[in-house]
Structure 1
């Protein structure tokens, strides 16, 4: 087999492969012999059809089948021989496939970039530290109470944070417009659900009252047909309900599946959850800084095939997350290209760090992480056992741990500054990471 390779770009390869005619004919004859054993031809018993008849009827199909198999096999042999690492399936251009002649074709494909990860010393990381104070715990209990707010009908004028049941009709230039009317809508004043001025215009209203609100849609309103237009809303208030925070009692505690009784037991469990969230938030922020640093220090070209695969994966995830009657391929690729490029580049860099440093998942850390995740459940022992019975889930945890070990490897050489902050600052989401250039 003859192979020649041309570098058409940094990552693209154009490989010409010639498969000897003898090998081609051997593969064709093998298929014809298999066909002869099962072919049903009028006038002949099965298995007794003359090869000349078999060849006349089936040779073209056998040759096409042999072509596909030979291309697949010879391409694999050629990339192994040439020590190439394809990043995706090749585009095949047949050049010659005539009976009695060599099979010759061109395979065009991309290879994975070859690089060495460096620049650990140039990475600066700010590592936060914080504790859950009693005040933080008290604030969290109030958040939990507000999340479980009930509303009770009140015989008074509406205030901010009250829930109103309303009917409304919106008109522009005296004509009702699509999406501008509703009946029996529940609206919490101050929630910011409606356009500016709508909720404010209902403060002080009572059940049974009708108000006319003259408003203007924002210039940047999502519906461009309405953006910047003046509208008149006739609103009827059906009821006014005031918020009632639940008491911190056994009934409230039971909603969170907490076995411990009493306020002290509940506070203990909530603190544990907050501390777990705090540890994860700090770890995530450190990881993001490390990954940003690796990206900045190691610019690499991305194989188009890997980028396209990642874009398609993100499309599918978006459809699954947001639903709707839309096919993934209908979503514009450019919506996902930045995120896809970052993920592909980081995947290549992380894999190279693992390779260069001969890292393997630390099984003790794997178990520790599983136990940490399981502690959020009522029966943690069962959760741990479940992970160790499911190879796919266990391997996902191993991948997480291996990534943590990559972060640790970088931190050994990076410039790390420790900073004490409040709980709120520590758990506050970081800004979205920069896209890879």
Structure 2
């Protein structure tokens, strides 16, 4: 088999691979000889079918397999001998499209090679880690928020307001006919909770205990019950009580509602949670410092297709962020700007660099880490967790999407351990400002 270089320009590579007719015939014969002992055919004992008959019966099928194996083998040997690593799946096509049995097989292979990644002295990197203590004021603020979430409702005089709870009996009807599931008694509805059909709760603002009111609404077109979707409905409501929200007391009873032994224990849990949140935010800021430092330290050629693909993804994502009402993908081609291309180059460069650092450090994503990541994603599909697990299991691209950020974070943590990190105590506001600056730069 002959492999000839046809293109070597930057990271672009091209090769012509020729598999002679004699080589192909030899491989076909090898495969048929290997299979012969197990072949049964009418008129012959098992393993005694003549080679000529085998070739006539199975030759075309085996020829295709032999051709594919030979080309795959030539490609594997090329990458092993050259040391090249393709950035994307190589493009392979037959160049003699009018090929017939007895002809040589001529194949063209093109790809973009991954560049040589320069060495990085991680120990020379200097980083600053922001540290924030959870102050009593922040703990008290969180306690008040918990108390508001654990609010009770107490009967009030006068008209209902947004945020109040109204206790109602109601019966719903469409075209004068009551429908199944459209009635309830003593139903506690918090106005403004958006738990009922759009337009329902707003019409109960201003009612008093004892009032009767017909609430007229239209079921959404995408409503779950097809016989109600898009229909006009009337709900005859009787207001039994109007109640105002009252925040829970900040005491041991509140703590027990949230699973703590007492108020001091709850404060301790809140303090730990706040400091964990501060730590995660500080890590994000320090990670940006690290990526900026690596981007300044290392420059190398980038595979053009990787950059082009990333730039298009960035342009597409930003388009939908700027046009949140456009949920389709029929907006035509979105041409990346110079800014998109610059950001794409940074992302590709850092992605390749982190991958190289991780490979050299033998960093791997464990099965337990992948399982945890899948479980977290599966929670977004309540009732369909099993189907999601099966989807991930059968979808290599989805597994890669889940694995990539875990791997990146492990590499970042590895470099953090090698780098020179100094701590800088800051206020919660300073940390928040730093995080906001990160988000504005993304």
Compute the TM-score of the two structures, normalised by the length of structure 1: 0.60
The match for 1:402 is 411
Q: Does 1:89 align with 2:89?
A: yes
Candidates 135, 142, 145, aligned match of 2:144: 142
The match for 1:5 is 5
Q: Does 1:245 align with 2:252?
A: no
SS of corresponding position for 2:64: helix
- Cα separation, partners in 2 of 1:191 and 1:95, compared to 1, 3 Å: same
1:196 offset after TM fit, Å?
12
Matches of 1:111 and 1:104, distance apart in 2: 22
Matches of 1:7 and 1:411, distance apart in 2: 44
Contact 1:130/1:423, CA 8 A, preserved across alignment: no
Contact 1:18/1:105, CA 8 A, preserved across alignment: yes
Q: Does 1:77 align with 2:77?
A: yes
1:340-367: CA deviation from partner (whole Å, max 9, x where unpaired): 9686554223224557xx65669xxxxx
SS of corresponding position for 2:354: helix
SS of corresponding position for 1:53: helix
1:29 offset after TM fit, Å?
0.8
SS of corresponding position for 2:40: coil
Candidates 339, 353, 362, aligned match of 1:349: 353
RMSD of aligned residue pairs (Cα, Å): 5.5
Gaps in structure 1 of 5+ consecutive residues = 170-181, 214-232, 316-328, 363-392
Contact 1:277/1:427, CA 8 A, preserved across alignment: no
Q: Does 1:111 align with 2:113?
A: yes
1:256-314: CA deviation from partner (whole Å, max 9, x where unpaired): 444xx332222223222222222222112221344366568869456449959x98xxx
Q: Does 1:277 align with 2:277?
A: yes
SS of corresponding position for 1:157: coil
- Cα separation, partners in 2 of 1:39 and 1:353, compared to 1, 3 Å: closer
SS of corresponding position for 1:75: helix
Contact 1:126/1:417, CA 8 A, preserved across alignment: yes
The match for 1:60 is 60
1:137-286 equivalent positions in 2, closer than 5 A:
137-152=139-154, 154-164=156-166, 188-189=190-191, 204-207=206-209, 209=211, 238=239, 239-248=241-250, 252-258=254-260, 261-286=261-286
Q: Which moves more between the two structures, 234-243 or 36-45?
A: 234-243
Contact 1:360/1:402, CA 8 A, preserved across alignment: no
SS of corresponding position for 2:161: coil
1:67 offset after TM fit, Å?
0.9
1:206 offset after TM fit, Å?
2.1
1:373-412 equivalent positions in 2, closer than 5 A:
400-407=409-416
The match for 1:420 is 426
Contact 1:129/1:419, CA 8 A, preserved across alignment: yes
Compute the TM-score of the two structures, normalised by the length of structure 2: 0.59
The match for 1:216 is none
SS of corresponding position for 1:87: coil
